[in-house]
Amino acid sequence: MGQRLTGAEILLESLLAEGVDTVFGYPGGSIITVYDKMYGYSDRLRHILVRHEQGAIHAAQGYARATSRPGVVIVTSGPGATNVITGVADAMVDSTPVIVITGQVGNAMLGTDAFQETDVVGMTGPIDKWTFQIRRPEDVAPAVAKAFHIASTGRPGPVVLDFTRDAQVGLADFEYHPCTHIRSYSLPAPADEAAIEAAAKLIDDAERPFVVFGQGVVLSHAEEQLKAFLKKGGIPAASTMLGLSALPSDFPYYVGMAGMHGNIASNMMTQQCDVLIAVGMRFSDRVTGNPFTYAPKAKVIHIDVDRTEIGKIIPVAVGILGDAAEVLGRLTERIRFSFHDEWAALARRYDRVEEERVAIPETRPQEGPVNMGEVVAKVAELSGRKAIIVTDVGQNQLMGARYSRFAQTRSFITSGGLGTMGFGLPAAIGAKTGAPDRQVCVFVGDGGIQMTIQEFGTIMQEGTAVKIVLLNNNWLGNVRQWQELFYGKRYSQTHMLNPDYSLIAKAYGIRYRCVEDRAELEDAVREMLDADEAFLLDVHVRQEGMVYPMVPGGRRMDEILLNNEEWYRDGE
Amino acid sequence: MENSSMYIISVYSENQVGLLSSISNIFTRRGINIESLTVFPSEFPGIHHFTFRAITTERAAQQVVGFIEKKVEVVRAFCFPDNLTSAAEHGLIEEYLNKNRNQ
């Protein structure tokens, strides 16, 4: 028989038993008992007090992505719960393990429109991996155990525990048993032998094999298996945006990012390959363009841990349900040593065009205002590829993805599927909290930073040394880009009058420097990277900056715009 | 376009509050109208059996089944066209589950 504790204490003990040392949260009326008990746990459990619940969940996402451990969020009922909803949906589509504990009113008041009562179970069910309402103190420990098991196994995702007041204040015996089995929830089984065999044969027979990998490689810790597979098969590989940093940027078989703003080589080779091996990715429309014209010559092999992803968008020749590390390991054993030198060398030809036509003008302009890509490239150069790069959403994200360079995995954190503006700043706080020894830089626009700018308060209180690079162009740049290209330059509601960020930084005690002139950029980036504390680098970038290359939405992936007027023509 | 016809989607799950709503949401999100629905305890202890009938395409029905099975509390889900042959298949599935009930 265990100790007799309140449900609130059982929650905290259970978190400790799961190895949690940091939680992100915000107190309130329906979670006050948990916060009261937390007072006695401050030596074992670090609580990061955010300034808005959305900040808590994005921070927990950043923490999880940087560390591979589930992020934990504690918030109150009603508005506390609804304020985390965006992050729950974001974590679901981006497969991020997060445990969200929402306070809830007492059992007798459920369904009575009580103060700060809302239907959390009903709201989160469609957008999370699992929701459970804890109504009795004896259910707390088993629910937490199940939550961690579900959030972090299979395809990871967010889990919501709706914790009623009765369950918080009531007493129960505490004993913790980690969950390892749920009868209706099966863990990834070893992949089907026949499927592996069929895939190996397709790969051996291929003349132009091509890999597109996603975050699944990172989530299953399959980076080394992927490298071995590519080396043995002599197969060039592209990454989705969420797969970035799974392979080092200079890995010989790596040809860059796929998708709407991906590298020319990735997209052109996708359209030409005869076997496409998709690993831990979900064929997002930002990757495929028009799915009916995607990889038209390819037999597709899709490796994923989530059965519903296989064949969901792109029909497959072979679907392999399983864990990426296991499947890649077994495939590598099966395939022949191969070389596809001529095919792989195509990438260098495309790279030369991209370098000349897009990358050099963007990152090394001689005159005019500072470019966004120029700033990103400078940070990549001076940080020695060691930083964790976090981005918000929009042009800052696309530039961050295109011009950052990586040497180790788990170094790129962004909101992919949901595309949540406001994600960047709190996610960077979470990443730095989880990986305090690493440099953490966040690229954010003047639109996105204002969506969660209140988290400057968290940085101030916690002393979180994040480096914030504000790519400030006074526009909602990505929407502006679409308006310029596809909506007849009718710039409807995308111009923004900005506050004086130096005063905001000063108010929060955050070091600040503004760059308007290219000549100052290098020195300013160096000063920011060398700082031991948080730093806001406010770079006034070209107002009409555009992200290229671009495959306009719904097009074929080889219909690539190089600039405002020119389409890429193969053979250039 | 694929042809739409009546499909039966049969779901075995743990008996948990809120599960019906989260399963029916999977239809709602794809704009599929549920024509009829029955829910009752199955012959397996603690397991409930839902039977949905809906007019949709084979591909959409398969996808709905995949997403239903992703729900943690769902043990198994199946779909088949609503005709006599399928009813016989359904009988076989029940028999299969009966045989494996103790696993």
Nearest to B74 among A121, A184, A312 (CB): A184
Within 10 A of A224 (CB to CB), how many other CB atoms are there?
12
Pairing, β B47-56 against β B34-41: antiparallel
Smallest Cα–Cα separation from A538: which of A492, A572, A506? A506
Domain range A369-540, its CATH number among 3.30.1330.10, 3.40.50.720, 3.40.50.970, 3.20.20.70 = 3.40.50.970
- Between chains, do A121 and B29 touch, taking CB under 8 Å as contact? no
d(CA A268, CA A349): 11
If interface means Cβ-Cβ distance under 8 Å, which residues of chain A face chain B? 121-122, 125-126, 129-131, 133, 150, 182-185, 306-308, 312
d(CA A211, CA A389): 24
**Mean per-residue pLDDT for A256-283?**
98
- ∠A23-A24-A29 over CA atoms, to 5°? 105
pLDDT digits (tens, 9 = 90+) for A76-120: 999 999 999 999 999 999 999 999 999 999 999 999 999 999 999
Residue B87 has what pLDDT?
A: 66
Residues of chain A neighbouring B70 (CB-CB closer than 8 A): 306-308
d(CA B46, CA B50): 13
Task: Assess: ipTM above 0.85.
Answer: yes
Q: What is the mean pLDDT of chain A?
A: 97
Q: Check pLDDT > 70 for residue A274.
A: yes
Domains in chain B, ordered, with CATH? Answer: 5-101 (3.30.70.260)
pTM: 0.95
d(CA A272, CA A264): 12
Residues of chain B neighbouring A186 (CB-CB closer than 8 A): none
d(CA A345, CA A381): 26
**Which architecture does CATH list for A193-345?**
3-Layer(aba) Sandwich (3.40)
Residue A281 has what pLDDT?
A: 98
CB distance A501 to A512 below 8 Å: yes
**Mean per-residue pLDDT for A12-29?**
98
Is CATH 3.40.50.970 the right assignment for the domain spanning A3-174?
yes
Domain borders along chain A are 3-174, 193-345, 369-540
Residues of chain B neighbouring A302 (CB-CB closer than 8 A): none
User: Within the 34-73 window of chain B, which residues sit less than 8 Å (CB to CB) from chain A?
Assistant: 63, 66-67, 69-70, 72-73
pLDDT in tens, chain B (103 residues): 578 999 999 999 998 888 898 899 999 999 999 999 999 999 889 899 999 999 999 999 999 999 999 999 999 999 998 876 666 666 767 777 677 665 4
Residue B102 has what pLDDT?
A: 53
Residue B84 has what pLDDT?
A: 64
